[in-house]
Amino acid sequence: MHKDVIVVGAGISGIAAGYNLKKNCPQKSFLILEGRNEVGGTWDLFKYPGVRSDSDMHTLGFRFKPWIHNKSIADGPSILNYLNETIDDYQLRNEIILNNKVVAANWDSGQSKWHIKIKEKDQDKDMTCNFLFLCGGYFSYSQPHIPSFIGQENFNGQIIHPQFWSEEIDYTNKKIAVIGSGATAITLVPAIAQHAKHVVMIQRSPTYVVSRPSEDSINKTLKKFLPIKLTYFLVRWKNILWQSYTFFLARTFPQKIKTTIINLIKEELGEGYDVKKHFTPSYNPWDQRVCLVPDSNLFRVIKNQKASVVTDTIKQFETDGILMNSGKKISADIIITATGIELNSLNDIHLSVDDKRAEKLVDDLNSIFDFIEKLNELKTDNVEPLTSVAETTLKLRPDEVKSKNIREQIIKNSPQDNEDYFVVPKVIE
């Protein structure tokens, strides 16, 4: 079988690719190949309690499919439902083939085609295409990152990685230890704390944690007066610009932003809590990822003593818990290793050119990685981050609305329009 385009992966990126191919290239044939038995990618894979987005759905969602719900920070099942709605609304279901994992692709220069090897359950099959579009993400679905711990074989309880969470896991009235304080741990701890006896989040070093409302008040207000599509467009760009601006401030005035974040956490947790030890990182904001908690849920379970934070390093697992290097013992019935994902490259597809391994490409990639490693060795502790090659001053101007309700007039000025957007001519084929 031959197709003009083969898209690998039926998650957010693959669905977006399918929509744009169908809309903008109707003369081109395409298929979306998904290695798993369901669509949705990440949002179908992860089933742990509280799984959610840590980006607002007005920026994570599709430009062409408005997010209509009040909750901007959405849970996993809602996002998965949104993706399935998109597939059905734009009639992409027939272009998606499940249980078809692309394992190898060879570029034939003579034919100008990709020859693709596919695993369909226990069977092998071949396809060809002119364009191969990899939308399968950047981490392994079969193997998460799980460090080995001394004595873990001696632990009498369950050791679970969130990537392999099962609905059969019963954590009610049990003591839980969560290793890690990244996005997954920050999401998981408040969710399981509602039913567990107690949850301890173990971290080697603190992470920046910022609370924001799960619902966007501006979105709720605009929806009362404006069409859904226009509201979505405005809120989407409001969030994009705000996030860009806050990132700019964090990189330009890191100490001020750090102080602001820490002071907000102190207000959340109250006097007497050791914010310096547990929530004050040694690095500046956005040197590493900033974690989001909706509606202060993590801080609430800490204040209510349903959860606690231990900042220390692990010495070993014991039969009934974890012994820290400080001598502190953490009792646990279940240990959850929220220790991250295992990265892969090119969706774990073996790429070759004219039946020869693409050694030149591998060499080039290795050279790039070597250069990055050398850059990481540079000492930049006393070097202010650059925001521009030239000195610039941000000029603030008051917003003045001079004309109202002229959307239709604006659209009429375009040579061609599509719904609420200008259509511009292609400049590159």
DSSP string, 283-350: S-BTTBPPEEEETTHHHHHHHTTSEEEEES-EEEEETTEEEETTS-EEE-SEEEE-----B-SGGG-E
Same domain for 185 and 300, yes or no, is yes
424 part of a folded domain: no
385 part of a folded domain: no
The confidence score (pLDDT) of residue 389 equals 44
Give the count of domains, the chain.
2
Same domain for 186 and 219, yes or no, is yes
Same domain for 270 and 127, yes or no, is no
The confidence score (pLDDT) of residue 343 equals 83
Burial-class residue 308 by CB neighbours within 10 Å (0-12, 13-18, 19+): middle
Using only C-alpha atoms, what is the Rg of the chain?
25
Please state, as a whole number, how many other Cβ atoms lie within 10 Å of the Cβ of residue 202.
25
Same domain for 173 and 322, yes or no, is yes
Residue written as token pair 């944690």: 209
Q: Stretch 55-59: mean pLDDT, rounded? A: 91
pLDDT band at 369 (very low <50, low <70, confident <90, very high): confident
Q: What is the DSSP letter of 71?
A: B
402 part of a folded domain: no
pLDDT band at 424 (very low <50, low <70, confident <90, very high): confident
Q: Which of 337, 362, 387 is the last residue of a domain?
A: 337
For 28, the token pair is: 């081109």
Same domain for 265 and 316, yes or no, is yes
CATH of the domain at 330: 3.50.50.60
The confidence score (pLDDT) of residue 354 equals 81
403 part of a folded domain: no
| pLDDT tens, position by position, 322-346 | 999 999 999 999 999 999 888 888 8
Residue 18: which domain range?
2-141+343-376
The confidence score (pLDDT) of residue 360 equals 65
Question: What is the percentage of the chain residues whose pLDDT exceeds 90?
Answer: 65
The confidence score (pLDDT) of residue 292 equals 92
Same domain for 66 and 14, yes or no, is yes
Cα separation of 289 and 285, whole Å? 8
For 115, the token pair is: 């020859």
98 part of a folded domain: yes
The confidence score (pLDDT) of residue 10 equals 95
| pLDDT tens, position by position, 379-410 | 666 666 554 444 555 566 777 766 666 767 77
Please state, as a whole number, how many other Cβ atoms lie within 10 Å of the Cβ of residue 142.
10
Same domain for 227 and 106, yes or no, is no
Cα separation of 69 and 332, whole Å? 38
Q: Return the ∠ at Cα 23 (arms to 22 and 28), rounded to 5°.
A: 45
Beta bridge partners of 120: 100, 123
390 part of a folded domain: no
Same domain for 256 and 372, yes or no, is no
Same domain for 103 and 228, yes or no, is no
Does residue 49 sit in helix, strand or coil?
A: coil
Does residue 69 sit in helix, strand or coil?
A: coil
Higher pLDDT, 289 or 191: 191
Q: Is pLDDT above 90 for 264? A: yes
Q: Is pLDDT above 50 for 170? A: yes
For 75, the token pair is: 């849970």
Q: Which of 284, 313, 337 is the last residue of a domain?
A: 337
> What is the pTM assigned to this prediction?
0.79
120 part of a folded domain: yes
pLDDT band at 60 (very low <50, low <70, confident <90, very high): very high
Same domain for 330 and 263, yes or no, is yes
Cα separation of 313 and 202, whole Å? 8
Question: What is the percentage of the chain residues whose pLDDT exceeds 70?
Answer: 90
pLDDT band at 21 (very low <50, low <70, confident <90, very high): very high
pLDDT band at 273 (very low <50, low <70, confident <90, very high): very high
| pLDDT tens, position by position, 36-49 | 999 999 999 999 99
The confidence score (pLDDT) of residue 352 equals 86
| pLDDT tens, position by position, 115-135 | 999 999 888 999 999 999 999
**Beta strands of 71-193 (E only): which ranges?**
96-97, 100-108, 113-120, 123-134, 158-160, 175-179
Same domain for 177 and 314, yes or no, is yes
405 part of a folded domain: no
Same domain for 169 and 284, yes or no, is yes
Cβ density class 14-37: b for 16+ within 10 Å, e for less: bbbbbbebeeeeeeeebbbbbbbe
